[in-house]
Amino acid sequence: MLLTFTSKGIYCRQADVYIDPWKPVKKALITHGHADHSRWGHKHYLSTKAAAPVIYQRLGDINLEVVDFGEVTQINDVKFSFHPAGHIVGSAQIRVEYKGEVWVVSGDYKLENDGISEPFEPVKCNTFITESTFGLPIYKWAPQKEVFADVNAWWQQNKEAGKVTILTGYALGKAQRIIEHLDEGIGTIYTHGAVENVNEVIRNQGVALKPTVRVTQDIDPKEFKGNIVVGYPFSHWEPLGKEIQAILSWHCFWLDGTEGSSQT
């Protein structure tokens, strides 16, 4: 077999490399910057150029080589290339070719174009290894347009009631997707520091995000009324002030399928 599952991760014996390994290895090919795929401790990393800024931010000073989407890297007669996965900025499927046989490892991927990530690109192959976090039939997602129409209507309703709207999602990926589809005509988009740190990295690599304001202790809590704050699960909200009424929604989806209404 060209790729096998081992105690360290998905392994290609012919090239002696791993894909998204979960234990330290000599050479790791990384699909994207989320912590369950990009871990500290490998001797050498390979990722897309677009994924690198966030990986550096999260892992620090590592030995990271970067490639463009579609660029072929050959290791011991095995050809590797990275192709857009549509999950977050820079996320990739990894194509592996050896002696005419082609395998693709999906990493996390999303078929619906979120307007920020490089859109998913189908890659022809003999064998496809797919992530399936939400593969159970209980997960049935409404179209993105409908989901965010509901979100913006909810924000408008909260504004008219004089309340703060708080929407949470993972600091990398989910939060930026939320921001991209918020109606900034309703009010100001504030962000928790963990989210804004990622926003700064992504903006610095040329990705256009809507204007956001970092939540700090210096902001008068009254300024949050009617506006929205994008945070991450388990955020602390002391800067909003104890006297402020807030409405919270947690956009994070796991086994019971009961929370939220969009896809990963």
- Listed by start position, the domains of the chain span 4-129, 144-250
What is the CATH architecture assignment of 144-250? 3-Layer(aba) Sandwich (3.40)
* Structure confidence at residue 259 (pLDDT): 44
Please provide the DSSP assignment of 24-92 as one string.
--SEEE-S-SSTTTS-TT-SEEEEETTTHHHHHHHH-S--EEEE-TT-EEEETTEEEEEEE-SSSTT-E
The pTM of the full predicted model, rounded to 2 decimals, is 0.89
Number of Cβ atoms within 10 Å of the Cβ of 184: 13
Q: Is 6 left (phi over 0), alpha (psi -120 to 50) or beta?
A: beta
Number of Cβ atoms within 10 Å of the Cβ of 260: 19
Would you state the structure tokens that stand for residue 201, as one six-digit string? 């990295």
Burial class (CB in 10 A: 0-12, 13-18, 19+), 237: middle
Would you state the structure tokens that stand for residue 84, as one six-digit string? 């857009």
CA distance 35 to 22: 10
Strand ranges across the sheet with 213-214: 213-214, 189-191, 228-231, 164-168, 246-250
Please choose, from the candidates 264, 263, 258, 251, the residue with its C-alpha nearest in 3D space to the C-alpha of residue 142: 263
Tens-of-pLDDT digits for all 264 residues of the chain? 999 999 999 999 999 999 999 999 999 999 999 999 999 999 999 999 999 999 999 999 999 999 999 999 999 999 999 999 999 999 999 999 999 999 999 999 999 999 999 999 999 999 999 998 888 888 888 999 999 999 999 999 999 999 999 998 899 999 999 999 999 999 999 999 999 999 999 999 999 999 999 999 899 988 999 999 999 876 666 666 554 555 555 554 444 444 444 333
Strand segments, DSSP code E, in 192-263 are 213-214, 228-231, 246-250
CA distance 264 to 17: 27
Topology match between the domains 4-129 and 144-250: no
Q: Is 111 helix (H, G, I), strand (E, B) or coil?
A: coil
Please choose, from the candidates 100, 97, 121, 102, the residue with its C-alpha nearest in 3D space to the C-alpha of residue 48: 121
CA distance 171 to 193: 9
Q: Which DSSP category does 239 fall into?
A: G
Number of Cβ atoms within 10 Å of the Cβ of 163: 18
Contact 14, 27 (CB under 8 A): no
C-alpha to C-alpha distances, 126 to 96, 102, 238, nearest whole angstrom: 10, 5, 53
Residues 6+ apart with CB under 8 A from 67: 46, 47, 48, 49, 73, 81, 82
CA distance 97 to 72: 10
User: What residues form DSSP beta bridges with 79?
Assistant: 74, 97
The CATH number of the structural domain formed by 4-129 is 3.60.15.10
